[in-house]
């Protein structure tokens, strides 16, 4: 089964959506996750402020592929502590051979199988 990380919390464009906590972001960097290493670490400039209560420093990892094995590992390891600002991360398992996409309504995401459409 393929594992995919999604956000199950309502969020506006301004207040959240899929994102990781600074702690989860640092763990991804420790594991060598490529996109996390390319993303700037703004918490490095203010380590005392990079607490879970600081929204601006807990919106990390938005470019990390949702089916990245290291991302899944970090969310499994940290549980709720992996949640970024206003996020509620969950792992969904789907068959490997499914073409998938993430859809969202009001910030709440689900994984769907890709279907063909004509108009």
Q: What is the pLDDT of residue 48?
A: 75
Closest CA to 88 of 22, 21, 36, 27: 21
Exposed e or buried b per residue across 62-89, where buried means at least 16 C-beta atoms within 10 angstroms of its C-beta: eebebbbebbbebbeebeeebbbbbbbb
What's the chain's length in residues? 119
Q: What is the pLDDT of residue 37?
A: 97
Q: What is the pLDDT of residue 107?
A: 79
At 40-87, the pLDDT tens digits run: 998 888 777 777 778 778 889 999 999 999 999 999 999 999 999 889
- Max distance between CA atoms of the chain, in angstroms, equals 54
At 22-50, the pLDDT tens digits run: 999 999 999 999 999 999 998 888 777 77
Spatial separation of the C-alpha atoms in residues 82 and 77, rounded to whole Å: 8
């Amino acid at each position: 089964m393929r594992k995919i990380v999604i956000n199950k919390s309502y969020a506006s464009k301004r207040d959240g959506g899929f994102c990781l906590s600074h702690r989860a972001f640092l763990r991804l960097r420790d594991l060598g996750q490529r996109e996390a290493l390319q993303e700037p670490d703004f918490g490095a400039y203010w380590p005392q402020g990079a607490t879970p209560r600081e929204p601006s420093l807990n919106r990390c990892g938005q470019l990390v592929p949702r089916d990245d094995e290291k991302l899944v590992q970090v969310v499994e390891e940290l549980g709720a502590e992996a949640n970024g600002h206003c996020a509620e991360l969950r792992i969904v398992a789907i068959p490997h051979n499914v073409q998938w996409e993430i859809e969202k309504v009001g910030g709440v995401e689900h994984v769907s199988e890709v279907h063909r459409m004509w108009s």
